[in-house]
Structure 1
Amino acid sequence: MQPLPSADRIAAVSAALAAFIAEGALQPGDRLPTERELMARLAVGRSTVREVIRQFQARGLVETRKGSGTYLLRAITPGAIHVSLTIDAGLLRDRLLQTLEIRRGLEVAASEAAARRATPADLVVLEEKLVAMERVHLDQGTAGPEDLQFHLAIYDATHNPLFRQLLEQFRETFEHFFEKPFDRPDFARRSFALHRELFDAIRAGDPEAARLKTLGILAIVEEDIQAMSPTTGSPQ
């Protein structure tokens, strides 16, 4: 493996690591190079290496064992590693609505699955994330990353790893909806109360109610996108 240019290092490290695994014919159970080795060989920082390993873990490709290292879980080919989709907040409003269509399909399905499968332990985590979101919302008027963490906990409560793996392909795109999106800290603020109602539906094991609450949240998101300028993607 050779040192990488500075541009788009996460994508480049992902591709380089996949190529290394394929060319070295590593098999499930084999240990990957350490963080320090990857940093030295690819001339990148620790945060870049850790983000790539996190993405590989989310896709079910590797696992990290504390005090032991990172191990391959299944065979990887360079063509199997996809670069995460991204979106610029300054693009046309229509692009945001296209992204919302994908988010709606995933989140509705995830909410229904979580309502059917969430364990008591899942519900504890979900409520912790919800309370954190509510606390930040009441203090700052927006939930930001705490909102994202709540939705990620719903994905985990499905016990279907494909939800997380799909999310990794859209993560950067979706994050624009959570961290003061489009210079509007009040973006989709009206959906705040529905998040607790969504949690209640999941806790009650009611997939239909969970579906409707998720659709309600995303309908508000869509209304706020529609209120933006179609040419700049910013509020009118």
Structure 2
Amino acid sequence: MEVLHLSDITWVRGKRTILEHVNWRIRANEHWALLGLNGSGKTSLLQIISGYQWPTHGSVTVLGMRYGSVDVREVRKHIGWVSSAIASRFEADASFDKAYEVVISGRYGSIGLWQPPTDEDRQDALHALEQVSLLHLAEAPFNTLSQGERQRLLIARAFMAKPKLLVLDEPCTGLDIRARELLLSSLERTQNNGEGPTIIYVTHHVEEILPFISHALVMDEGRVAASGAKQAVLTDDVLRNAFHVDVRTTWENQRVWLTVR
């Protein structure tokens, strides 16, 4: 089954072309990294996938549902998101909620809980917290957690809805190296049983791309610079051209690292 199919996507806003002739196909059992500099089109592509923006040209099919012939709100129920925008909403509106309550809210798609959680909700939330190594902080208020702990908590929250597609939008932004590696280790554990959702991991730091991520798409100025199996895409030539910096890649423990020449 195809999880995502973007066919010849072009998006023009005013006189500016934001995305141009973008094609992207994600099949079952694939996990993708989406890379590119700021302004390369990554966020615009996510807006198209989520149905919050409509392309000027081309077609969007997510989980077998083609936009324009389905209620996009129904599609969104099957997509999990982790982003700085969601974290900001909890900081503003639910900062005193306990960690396990934040996780449970993912099942209902709410910021904060508006109904008493069930015993099943609590058990599932505790299991999700264990997966991201936060079980010991289940009763801790959101506003007492570190930034890294908050990001791991939001990953646990996203899993509560049992999404078929999970978008992680730069989840390591602002984290120090220890917090980053803790988050990445937690994410890898969620994929160990092979039963998790398809993941799109958005970043401009290639060292965050974990071994289980099989493919990569690189954006540059609104176009696809390269797309395919990550070993074929994450090369010196592709990244040099997309990042506009002379870089060299090295691989260690199935992860790629960049150095600037």
What's the TM-score, normalizing by structure 2?
0.24
Larger Rg: 1
More strand as a share of residues = 2
What's the TM-score, normalizing by structure 1?
0.26
